[in-house]
Chain A
Amino acid sequence: MGYIEEKVSPGLWALAWRRLKSDRTAMVAMVIVGLYFLILAASATGLIASDWDAEVGVNYAPPSFIGAQAGGVSATAEEAPPPENPLDPLKDIIRELRGGANAAPVDMYGVTDPLEKEMSEIRAQLGNTAAKAAERKATLPFGADKWGHDVIKKTIKGAETSIIVGVVAAFLATLLGTVLGALSGYYGGWVDDVLNWFYNIFTSVPYLLLILAVAAVLQQKGVTTIVLILALTGWTGTYRLIRAEYLKHKSREYVWAADAIGASDWRKMFNHIFPNVSHVALVQISILVVAFIKSEVILSFLGFGVPVGVVSWGSMLNEAQNELILGKWWQLTAATVAMAVLVTAFSMFTDALRDALDPKLK
């Protein structure tokens, strides 16, 4: 564009960034959120926690970070054969069977086993597994779950699902709410009426019931389904706010001026009005991310969430409800702390962002 960029004054975003930078709480919150996203990126690309489903610890290995020692249960103790019962009439046979691995490949009838080779392979494999089982750690820094998965890795992998669900669903819901709100507020008339009916239907049905209905229609479990459920039910708040903003802005003189110079409806809606209401959409996105991370947890907790084999904070909490009875609190703690820190940091960041983006330019 040639010589037009002689000196461009800081725009809204530059000013907002300046204000945000001077807010210490916001910066701390932003660093924390940034850290989560870094971990998320590393986990998504397989750099860390890709082996989260490896059974590295014993079942319910307690966390060692608080100094917990290996409890009564240990892998070797479980694997050790029970002592021989002298009264057992089958004790000879049992002894023979136990000693089978080392016995000669000739059975009691003196016939050579034709499957000897295969059997020894199988035995070797079994021996390996046993050896592996013996290698399982009795304790892990943050403990292990029912299958011996490392809880910290599981939490990281769970963060991947939860945050992606939260962010993508929030983005979709805000997009939906913004476009519908813009149409409704800008055009008014029957467009507004129809969209308002939709809005009223969506808000009049209890939230959980609506989620169950959408889940029933979609008929399959998976991350995509959760994202769709959340997006399809979560656009209403954004819709209402954006609609109100468009109602207000469409009769502003700058929009009339745009009309007078011949700008099309589309241009007025998205080139002229949208930059003036974008702060609303942005704040909505960040509020929804928090809400949707929590919703995903509730959905997974209720069993409408991620399928078996995929881990999320919600599925971790779901498992934890049974574990808690056994006194295995570490999985619950890990998922809760991870979520609480992110949600708090994100909320604080959102608040600061809203202040920084105050629509009053200066």
Chain B
Amino acid sequence: MNANPLLQVRNLRVSFKTDKKHSVEAVKNVSFDIPRNATVALVGESGSGKSVSSLATMGLLPPETAIVDPGSRIEFEGRNLLDLSADARRALCGKEISMIFQEPMTSLNPVFTVGYQLCEVLMLHMGMSGKEARSRAIELLREVGIPEPERKIDAYPSQMSGGQQQRVMIAMAIACEPKLLIADEPTTALDVTIQKQILDLIADLQKRHQMSVLFITHDLALVGEIADHVIVMRNGEVREAGEVRQIFEAPRDAYTKALLRCRPTIDSRPLRLPVIDDYMNGHVEPPATHQQRSRGLTGREDIVLEVRNLGKSFYSREGLFGKKEFKAVKDVSFKLARGKTLGVVGESGSGKTTVGLTLLRLHKATQGQALFEGKDILSMSDKEFMDYKRRIQIIFQNPYASLNPRFTIGQILMEPMRIHHIGANDDERAGMAHQLLKRVGLPPVSFGRYPHEFSGGQRQRIAIARCLTLKPEVLVCDESVSALDVSVQAQVLNLLQELQEEYGMSYIFISHDLAVVKYISDQVMVMHNGEVVEMANSDELYRDPKHSYTRTLLGAIPKAIFP
């Protein structure tokens, strides 16, 4: 690498106190360089220590719990940041090093205009007068691509979209012409098309301002286009570091290889996705990961669920008696074939989740029918619908929120069986619960544990097991793998695939991730602003998208260079 790097991290060790006696080492002896005028990507899954490393650089670790090893060094232009006084460090960190965070909605103060917040930075660090700061702020907003910056400068954060808010955050970060910009998962909370714009903006600013960027992300595929160097971390250690081409084309470390391979891609659909374990222990890749699966409908399948003209409106109160209608779902119709998967893709606000919730009657449909084997489940009474609840189930996005934290796994699994009188007594139900735990790959001791003792992927398995207790025919997966790490996502997708073959379930797979949807679906429905814009067999849709919106979506998928 460069002989005179901008930032040198040497032997960084950070641990966190868990209680008075114990601590956990989050970063174990990590060293890396950030050269001048380059983009370095720090890639790792949750718990890899990537964010902790960047927070240590910014001096933002919580002082009560975090312990930075005295032997660690973080040198910025030859000065060890860890030796500086708090004041000196603060002066440096706002000006020379700046940071943007994952959630623009919570990073901006909602009670001040964006102009005020931008000017504050300029006046504080650049010593500008109020007038100078304002004109510079307008310039900055124009630079980050905010339309009509003269007007938008007086807007409040809530009056802007998520993408615009992230642009404002970037404007604040580059306001003082920093030499190093740290971007911590800056696009994770954003839609695919917005993500693409933000990535382009960061790449563009990096070149124009000749600064260095430390780009932190969990998604290796994302960095192919913008990074010069890539550092792959796992469990607090650097697994591999190198130039971007080398990482993508000739990865040396087994973990890097696994990360690259376990994410589903647009152009390949193996029978089974490779998982980390296939690589880590020197195992040979199982043949199933090379065989391709063909998908799609022939038109002769048995239809289990037919949705006709589904519509859902939400009303907000306006004034004393007025109501304002918002149509979340407009006139959606589709047929779901038995044993097949219908993928639903769209960005946030497209109404895809609302469709799923309405089918389970978690939202009341405003209009339309959903014929389950010919009977409309939307218009029947609650009592009649009880029998159908067994047959149509849902797995939610957030495995941390969808399990009751006060129930043991055993209680969670046995409750649906009790309600629907499955099994003669609790002993029998417990036996069935144990079988299901085994089926989804969890040890028997899980039965007496509470949800917080499990990782995200394990919790999602528990949620799947809960649905399986009822042996449903239709399973709605609402962004069910979106919150999971790439490697865990592959495991859960494989599990869903196996279960579909085993039980002949039909899936409605809702996701914003086009690659995942392509992998799991036979048919894909693209939604935009509550309407279905295109629906086709998945191979066909990805090969030959008819609608311009579908093309925009497909164009926004990060194109990594693959081996």
Instruction: Point out residues on A near B: beta carbons under 8 Å.
Output: 1-9, 11-12, 252-254, 256-263, 267, 272, 275-276, 361-362
Contacts and interface: CB of A to CB of B under 8 A. Distances in A.
B403 interface: yes
Most-contacted residue by chain B among A5, A6, A256, A257 (CB, 10 A)? A257
A361 B405 contact: yes
Contacts of B466: 257, 261
Contact of A260 (B360, B401, B427, B449): B360
A252 B404 CA distance: 9
Contact of B450 (A9, A256, A267): A9
B495 to A, nearest CB: 18
Given A2-B427, A5-B448, A7-B448, A259 B470 contact: no
10 contacts: A3-B427, A9-B408, A12-B406, A253-B397, A254-B404, A257-B466, A261-B419, A261-B420, A261-B466, A262-B386
Given A1-B427, A262-B386, A262-B420, A9 B404 contact: no
Contacts, number: 93
Interface in B373-395: 386, 389-390, 393-394
B406 A11 contact: yes
B447 interface: yes
B563 interface: no
A260 B393 contact: yes
Nearest to B361: A259
Most buried by B among A3, A4, A11, A272: A4
Contacts of A361: 405, 450, 452
B448 A257 contact: no
A262 B463 contact: no
Contacts of A7: 445, 448
A262 B401 contact: no
B362 A256 contact: yes
A276 B450 CA distance: 13
Contacts of A12: 405-406
A259 B419 CA distance: 11
Contacts of A6: 444-445, 447-448
B461 to A, nearest CB: 14
A260 B389 contact: yes
A257 B394 contact: yes
Contact of A261 (B389, B407, B410): B389
A308 B405 CA distance: 51
Most chain A CB within 10 A, of B406, B427, B444, B449, is at: B406
Contacts of B408: 8-9, 11
B429 to A, nearest CB: 9
B188 interface: no
Contacts of B448: 4-9
A6 to B, nearest CB: 6
A101 to B, nearest CB: 79
Contacts of B394: 256-257, 260
A261 B396 CA distance: 13
Contact of B401 (A1, A4, A5, A254): A254
Contacts of B386: 262
B313 interface: no
B560 interface: no
Interface string B428-453: 00100000000000001101111011
Contacts of B150: none
Given A8-B448, A9-B448, A361-B452, A257 B430 contact: no
